[in-house]
Amino acid sequence: MEAAFYLFLLGAFMCSTEAAGILPDGPLNAPVGGSVMFTTFLTEADGPFDAVTWNFNATILIISYQSGSSLIPPAYQDRITFFPSTASLELKDLTLDDGGEYSVNVFPDRGGIIKLDIYEKISRVSIKSSTEQITEGSSVTLTCEASGSSPSRTWKKDGSDLNLSENVTLSEDNTVLTFKAVKKENSGEYVCLVSNPVSSSEAKFTIVVNYGPANVQIEGKDLINENDQIKLICSAESTPSATFTWRLNGSEIIGSSAEFLKEKAQSSDSGTYTCEAKNTVTEKQSTAEHELHVRADITSGCYAGCIAGIVVGCLVVVAAASAGGFFVYKKLHKRKPDPPPQTAEVNHIYEEISPVYQNVGK
């Protein structure tokens, strides 16, 4: 019996195993620092097993188990758990050096072999842009950087697959996304998903394509009356938002917002209004023009002679009012006490007024 076992052990060392029967096909994947379970197809009913050996890369002994006692080399002492009932093995605290072939031999004639691939988990995924400020028409590259073993990358834009074209291309390994001449439609949130068989991680990058100003327009009335409100609104397609400068007949006027407002228009506010839209990032500017005519009001459209006329008129009114006031004052103080108001008197006043209306009618 003993001789047979040593012969078996020797056989196991020499040729690993051709009997790949009691382990799954593999390979198994496991992360650095993690653990892996080599589970055989054997059950308790198949045992008990007199002798079991596990080897790494055919020649390195992990455990030699015989009749309840086991021999474990120092390198594996604290890292393995052996399950005698199924001849299965657990290996912990994995390092990249643990990648290779694991074989098991169960005396007298069963065995198996399986490959284990160790991966460093994906970490530190980031997207780096070739330029900080992205302006329309410029060339931009996004590079998806990552740490970890065998990273494979996929990209999404706003949750959908990328539409690659002659102007939007990916490098062969999917690491670099290139925009030949970036368009405003390329704005959006880009995600680079990096994965390997044991982990995945992603990074996001938002492309804001600065463009414009384009399509500058002024909205407002062409013709208003004096004392009406002037309200002109300038708009422009621009990222970032445009800043505005207003001019009247070429001279700068107060107002640096999109809206030009003046509560009471004067006829001197007539003229050509220009809105100049500027984009501080693209350093481009564009203008729009708007003709406004403020129509002079007949009652207030009045100068020198007219004003003198009003002044004279006023004096006359004041004089008349004073005289009238004096007369009324005197009259009130004479007729004291006042007689109670009578219906007849009211009727009388009415009758007096009626003929006046009739005269006007004729």
Ligand X SMILES: *[C@@H]1O[C@H](CO)[C@@H](O)[C@H](O)[C@H]1NC(C)=O
Q: Least CB distance from residue 98 to ligand X, whole Å?
A: 8
> Closest approach of Cβ 225 to ligand X, in Å?
16
- Nearer CB in complex with ligand X: 162/233: 162
Q: State in angstroms the smallest separation of the CB of 55 from ligand X.
A: 11
Cis peptide preceding 27, ω within 30 of 0 = yes
How many alpha carbons fall within 13 Å on the CB side of residue 49? 28
- Closer to ligand X at the Cβ: 181 or 223? 181
Pairing relationship of beta strands 100-106 and 168-170 according to DSSP bridges: unpaired
Token readout for 20 is: 């790949």
The answer for residues whose C-beta is within 8 angstroms of residue 319's C-beta and 6 or more apart is none
Nearer to ligand X, 86 or 136 (CB): 136
State the residue for tokens 């020797």: 10
Closest separation between CB of residue 113 and ligand X, Å? 11
Nearer to ligand X, 57 or 171 (CB): 57
| Six-digit token string for 261 | 């407002």
Closest to ligand X by CB, 162 vs 281, is 162
Nearest distance from C-beta of residue 175 to ligand X, angstroms: 19
Across the beta sheet with 28-31, what order do the strands follow?
Answer: 28-31, 110-119, 100-106, 51-56, 60-66, 69-71
- With respect to ligand X, which residue has the nearer C-beta, 181 or 314? 181
Round to whole Å and give the CA distance between 292 and 156. 50
**Closest separation in Å from C-beta 103 to ligand X:** 11
Measure CA 32 to chain center. 35
> Which residues of the shown chain bind ligand X in the complex (CB under 6 A)?
57, 97, 100-101, 157-158, 160, 162-163, 165-167, 181, 248-249, 268, 270-271
| Cα 207 from Cα 131, distance rounded (Å) | 11
- Give the angle 53-54-58 at the CA atoms, nearest 5°: 110
